[in-house]
Amino acid sequence: MTRAHLPGILAMAAIVVASNILVQFLFGQWLTWGAFTYPLAFLVTDVMNRVYGVGPARRVVVAGFAVGVLCSLVGSQIQGEFGPLVTLRIALGSGLAFLTAQLLDVAIFDRLRGGRWWRAPLVSTLVGSTVDTALFFTIAFSAWLAFLEPANDVAWANEALPLLGLGPVAPLWVSLATADWMVKLSLALIALVPFRLIVARLTARPA
């Protein structure tokens, strides 16, 4: 690791910490504030990948994962109204989703880096975000995986309700996942602007 990589590591750590805090606060009926900060992790990974390459991008991901594990350990010791703020299933889902999605993002970006400037960050982020959402919400809240933490009652997340209040009946966690996914897709498009600007600034700067 060089000093040039440190801002990326610090940015990733800040996003992970902020998202772990903001996920405790609701934004409307289907989202938390963390849904708006966490997708920025893909922006950091993609900038590192474009400017410094695959190796530094992966190191930033590992640093973010380590910070996420630490946040989960701290959260598991804090008691909320319904028990620990971070349950075993949430910790497993969060860690596995983050690591899998971010490393997938790095691999897809690298495969597409030779195309139009927007293709690699857009495609890698869309795929990574989709995998991240599917893994986290399924592991954390699906009734199918109740055996992972039998003492954790996730009946509330499996209440049958219209999807996003409008569509077909589905477990509540599916609505939460869908709303989260839609925000990630929207931010993937918006993030192309800062991606372009940050990469231009970093690549124009003398070494």
d(CA 11, CA 73): 21
Q: Is 75 inside any structural domain? A: yes
Tally the domains of the chain.
1
Q: Is 153 inside any structural domain? A: no
Per-residue pLDDT of the chain (207 residues; tens, 9 = 90+): 577 789 999 999 999 999 999 998 999 899 999 999 999 999 999 999 999 999 999 999 999 999 999 999 998 888 776 678 889 999 999 999 999 999 999 999 999 999 899 999 999 999 999 999 999 999 999 999 999 999 999 999 999 999 999 989 999 999 999 999 999 999 999 999 999 999 999 998 654
Which secondary-structure segment (H or E) carries 109? Answer: helix 88-112
d(CA 66, CA 79): 22
The CATH number of whichever domain residue 24 belongs to comes to: 1.10.1760
Eight-state DSSP code of residue 44? H
- In this predicted structure, what is the pLDDT of residue 1? 57
pTM score: 0.93
Q: Which residue carries 């192309």 as its tokens?
A: 192
- Beta strand residue intervals within the chain, DSSP E: 26-27, 31-32, 79-80, 83-84, 160-162, 169-171
- In this predicted structure, what is the pLDDT of residue 206? 52
- In this predicted structure, what is the pLDDT of residue 207? 43
Q: How many residues make up the chain in this entry?
A: 207
What separation, in Å, do the N-terminal and C-terminal C-alpha atoms of the chain show? Answer: 15
Q: Is 154 inside any structural domain? A: no
Q: Is 68 inside any structural domain? A: yes
User: Residue 171's beta-bridge partner residues?
Assistant: 160
Q: Is 164 inside any structural domain? A: no
Q: Is 156 inside any structural domain? A: no
Supply the range of the domain harboring residue 141.
3-145+180-204
Q: Is 175 inside any structural domain? A: no
Which pair of tokens denotes residue 1? 């690791």
Q: Is 102 inside any structural domain? A: yes
